[in-house]
Structure 1
Amino acid sequence: MRLSIISTHKRIQKGDIGEFEKLFRNLYSPLCHYAFRFIKDMDSAEDIVQDLFYNYWKNREKLEITTSLKSYLYQAVRNKCIKTINHQQVKEKYNNVLRLQGQDYDDYSSSNIETEELNQIIESTIDELPDRCKEIFVLSRYEGMKYHEIAQRLSISVKTVEANMGKALKMFRLNLKGYYQISANQ
């Protein structure tokens, strides 16, 4: 089948669905086999070709094809396969590093997201604390100071430090309560 840039592409650009369907029927299978030669997985090959046709149709009005349409599509499949292979290689290398550290990529991604969510909750809780309470909490938890050291530094009683820490920890328990219930259910 000969696909000329002038006839087929121009008609598809103008929205000729029949011409697009004809193109799809004629090239879908050969493009899938071409993609399979690169990535050795027919499901992935079909995904690549389907994405290609979808994007071609979606962007048809903007595309300026200077070669034959058939050459353009084969080149696009080749480029997408190479990109997929490169992405897979990077993911495998990263997975190997994580495996050496005792983690899996998916576990790492999930735990990373959970850590970020937890950090956001902690930061927002600290921001919600009254100024004195925040100051005492930061000195205790971030600077590692003991209650009597905080009391001395701020010229307040140890009981005031304890009361403010109690207030801060109560706020943390309230804000983290929903987070831990969600995490436990997952």
Structure 2
Amino acid sequence: MKSSSKYENELDLLAQFKRGEVSAFEIIFKMNYPALCLFLTKMGIERFQAEEIAHDIFLKLWDKCGNFDSLDSVRAFLYISSKNAALNFLDKTKRLQKKEETFLAQQEWTEFSVEAQVVYLETLKVIQENIESLPEQCKKVMQMLVFDGLEPQEVADQLGISRGTVYSQKARGIALLKERLSFDQFLLFLFILQYSL
């Protein structure tokens, strides 16, 4: 009898939540927020950031309150969204660290002679001009990979193409640049490409 009563309460809670009643949202928040924060910290997110991510996920949940057919589907949404948000956050953090490392490495080149720095900058300019002269889709893919530092999936999402197309356009771009650049220019291009991905 107790489980039947609990089931009826959950149905009532879900019905109120689907109608957009704030009191029902608050109950769902209190039921799930602590566990969600713990889940995020177990994924390697700092406590403060975990709380921010959890709040964002609950805002998204509230926006979709009419879309759920059970409290289990609500919980599934919370955990799947949190997992994806955590992975995105960790990926961005990793990318920022990589950019910082690249920046620090680039600081070392300022110790080179002025002549060497000029050659380096001129070579970068040649690489950029050659990328801009690539066929349109190939150019966009290479610019986003090399200059924006985006992942292939991000490029695919932004351009509305498949990940496979991104890889084929990248291969095409590398092949074309190998023909157009000198050996030294191409080596520098490969170095930049490696550190931007």
TM-score bracket relative to the smaller structure? 0.3 to 0.5
Q: TM-score normalised to the size of structure 1?
A: 0.47
Structure having the higher Rg: 1
Q: TM-score normalised to the size of structure 2?
A: 0.44
